[in-house]
Structure 1
């Protein structure tokens, strides 16, 4: 059994403002094997790292991410003194230091993410083993699988391990990413026997972490990397 992958949720969300370069750096300092982040396409076409479909919760601004230009987004302030990073900025920070789990949040993200990941592999010295692209959205996973079979996919689910499993088979995904409350020792084992990795989210309680570790999952996503 391979060692458990320690994955920082939106960086080290429990310590530093989520999805900021400072949060990703903090997670790296805490010894994570990987980081998880969320991407949307903004109005000018760039891939930006932010969780919500609007900027209202995490910044001093208001509006929908996909209707704002990069310049407008960069002008916003996250938690007093951080800015919304580009996906390219995060990948530069993480290169050679950890793998990156890129969650496609917004619609129409598959094509630009695919183009960018191909650029990283072909021009920047990345390997397809250095990242995984995940989503709850069936359409984005389907498009990504059609565009580039080399990009490893993870199927996110908050509802059903069985559904994630079925989608994973359909899209030749590498992993399923179920919420930890859905996991049992048997469904984890079944998924792994079918060749799927199981990366679960978001576990922030020490007792829950120890229980899920006992199921021999492949990776745990947490706001508090030090608990792993």
Structure 2
């Protein structure tokens, strides 16, 4: 079972920062999960929220701010908001990078950036692009069928399975509370790999592991 660190080792270090991804690697995570938005000048920014308030204490909207201005802000007073390229340079093929698209507009530039890194020696298997915005996933698939895709859902498993099959997605990413032994068996019968989120409590990790899933996305990669 793969351990994917949610926004890095979010349980220990400020989310979606280089420090969080470093901590995840130190803890032996098999992959990191991160979120991306676009800045006003089209840079791919690693940041979860649409607005900057919660994490930086400064009011603003990511899409309305240039990359340079965003990088002048500090996450939890200490950490720079990184670009996706900076995170990939830091990871340097050491683990899986699960890129969650927060906006459809990021589909094209993320595709182009993945293609650039593959041309420089990475493999497509180093990447997994996921989203709750299924239109964004469809666009990625249309642009490059080699990029692995994961369908996120927190509600309807059957609908998500159907969509995953329709775009030949590699993985399904359901909220872990949706799962039981029967639903896991159904998903596996469709030849979909199963990565579940966000599993943090030891008793939940143990229960989910027993279902025979392929990976968990967790804030605490050292607990699994």
Task: Please give the range of the TM-score, normalised by the shorter of the 2 chains.
Answer: over 0.9
Matches within 5 A, 1:35-184: 35-122=32-119, 124-184=120-180
Deviation string for 1:103-157 (max 9, x for gaps)?
00023111111011111111x2110111100000021011111111111100000
Q: Secondary structure of 1:24's match?
A: helix
- Once residues 191 and 104 of structure 1 are traced to their aligned partners in structure 2, the CA distance between those partners, rounded to angstroms, is 23
Is contact 1:53-1:106 (8 Å) kept? no
TM-score by length of 2: 0.98
2:212 to 213, 216, 228: 216
Structure 2 gap segments, 5+ residues each:
none
Q: How many pairs are equivalent?
A: 224
Runs of 4+ aligned structure 1 residues displaced above 6 Å come to: none
TM-score by length of 1: 0.96
Structure 1 gap segments, 5+ residues each:
none
Is contact 1:40-1:48 (8 Å) kept? yes
Q: Secondary structure of 1:57's match?
A: helix
Q: Report the CA distance between 1:98 and its aligned residue.
A: 0.6
RMSD of the alignment, in Å? 0.8
